[in-house]
Amino acid sequence: MSPQAEPGAGSKPKRSSGRRPSLTREEILAAALAIVDEGGLDALTMRAVADRLGVYPNAVHWHMGSRSGLIGAVSTKVFDEIRLPPQRDVPWPDWIRAMAREIRRVMRRHHHLAQVIGTQLVTTTGAMPFVERVLSVLTDAGFDDERLTVAYNSVIGFAIGWPALELSTEPTDQHSAWKDDFAAELAGLNPLLFPALTRAMPAVRNRAYLLRWDSGATEPLDTSFEFALDILVAGLGAQLPG
């Protein structure tokens, strides 16, 4: 059950045959992405990347500078997978919806990186085509210079922040007993102290924030996301003059 299943991991790097071509940054990021998708962020160690590439740890260190630098760099790869819908002749509410769904889709594909994207400053010009499109759509919708920034932040804050919370990771260790424990605690709440919660319990248990024990990675909150998206678009429209 341990993440590192490879026999002989940690041993000396073994080249399969002859000289490998010079190590490249893209090669490192691809290996890192594979590791984090498989084993989570904790599994992404410099040594794991080095092992996978058949080099010494310092080879990775030389290219990436540090582990946190590696994590930051690999998190930007998620933005490369964003495929935005065409903008021409599409009403802005439809475009905003499609954009938010696409963000959520790529974050779900790399849900272990969602916590990095959601809580660590990501600075990459690779996201600029995406940013340009969002600003363009909001400008065309009628948000002028002052309100453009706040509208943009409202939209992006939702589009990234909401799925990041949805895709919260489960605790790494534990003996899986905590799930049953928490479920039992919820079932044992005093109905007199928590009347609204008790009434809603069948609908919310394991399906609502602060009341669930499974991650959105395995138990998606689809209808809630769509509802929140409706709220965003309707509320945004209400801010437009006219």
In the region spanning residues 110 to 139, those forming contacts with its own copies, defined by CB under 8 A, are 114-115, 118-125, 127-132, 135-136, 139
Q: Kindly report the length of the chain.
A: 242
Among the listed residues 68, 87, 120, 176, the single contact to DNA using CB under 7 A? 68
Q: Rule CB under 7 A: say whether 52 interacts with DNA.
A: no
Q: Rule CB under 7 A: say whether 46 interacts with DNA.
A: yes
Q: Rule CB under 8 A: say whether 45 interacts with its own copies.
A: no
Nearer to its own copies, 90 or 200 (CB): 200
Among the listed residues 26, 89, 145, 173, the single contact to DNA using CB under 7 A? 173
d(CA 225, CA 97): 11
d(CA 71, CA 159): 21
Looking at 57-65, 99-107, 131-139, 175-183, which segment touches DNA (CB under 7 A)?
57-65
In the complex, what is the shortest distance from the CB of residue 180 to DNA, in angstroms, rounded to a whole number? 21
d(CA 198, CA 150): 38
Among the listed residues 66, 120, 153, 174, the single contact to DNA using CB under 7 A? 66
Q: Rule CB under 8 A: say whether 30 interacts with its own copies.
A: no
Which tokens in the block code for residue 170? 């489960």
**In contact, 135 and 156? CB cutoff 8 Å:** no
Q: Rule CB under 8 A: say whether 97 interacts with its own copies.
A: no
Closest CA to 168 of 215, 210, 113, 211: 215
d(CA 64, CA 60): 6
Binding residues for DNA, total number by CB under 7 A: 22
Among the listed residues 96, 99, 110, 158, the single contact to its own copies using CB under 8 A? 158
The CA-atom distances, in angstroms, between 13 and each of 16, 47, 58, 165, 183 are 10, 11, 12, 39, 46
Nearer to DNA, 61 or 133 (CB): 61
Nearer to its own copies, 54 or 147 (CB): 147
d(CA 47, CA 39): 14
Could you please report the per-residue DSSP string of 76-99?
A: HHHHHT--PPP-TT--HHHHHHHH
Q: Rule CB under 7 A: say whether 57 interacts with DNA.
A: yes
Nearer to DNA, 35 or 232 (CB): 35
Nearer to DNA, 53 or 134 (CB): 53
Q: Token pair 């933005």 is at which residue?
A: 79
Binding site for DNA (CB under 7 A): 4, 10, 12-13, 22-23, 45-48, 55-59, 61-63, 66-68, 173
